């Protein structure tokens, strides 16, 4: 569930549509938060233009998730 503990950051994680088993294409987003202050714990693909992002709790105060820091690569024009 959404209350599960998220440990660690995504690292160059390519988010693909459910059931897709081909090669990575332009527009299949690659998320990365494996750097100091990165805090993206999980990404779920919803549609080509919609993703659910799960932000890890703040290290010093686990009740809060008030900031986010991650990168996105492999976007296509107009995405």
pTM of the model: 0.79
- The pLDDT tens digits for 13-37 are 999 999 999 999 999 999 999 887 7
Q: Are 39 and 71 in contact (CB under 8 A)?
A: no
How confident is the model at residue 60, as a pLDDT? 77
Binned at pLDDT 50, 70 and 90, residue 73 comes out as very high
For the chain, which residues make up each domain, given as ranges?
Answer: 7-74
How confident is the model at residue 5, as a pLDDT? 56
Pick the closest to residue 67 from 22, 24, 26, 37 (CA basis). Answer: 37
Binned at pLDDT 50, 70 and 90, residue 55 comes out as confident
Q: pLDDT averaged over the chain?
A: 85
**Beta strand ranges found along 1-79 (DSSP E):** 13-14, 30-32, 40-47, 50-55, 71-73
Q: How many CB atoms lie within 10 A of CB 9?
A: 19
What is the Cα–Cα distance from 25 to 42, expressed in whole angstroms?
A: 21
């Amino acid at each position: 569930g959404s209350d599960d503990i998220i440990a660690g950051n995504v690292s160059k994680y390519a988010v693909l549509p459910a059931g897709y088993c081909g090669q990575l294409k332009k527009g299949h987003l690659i998320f990365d938060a494996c750097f100091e202050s990165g805090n993206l714990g999980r990404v779920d693909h919803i549609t080509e233009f919609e993703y659910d992002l799960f932000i890890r709790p703040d290290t010093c105060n686990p009740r809060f998730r008030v900031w986010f820091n991650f990168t996105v690569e492999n976007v296509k024009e107009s995405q």
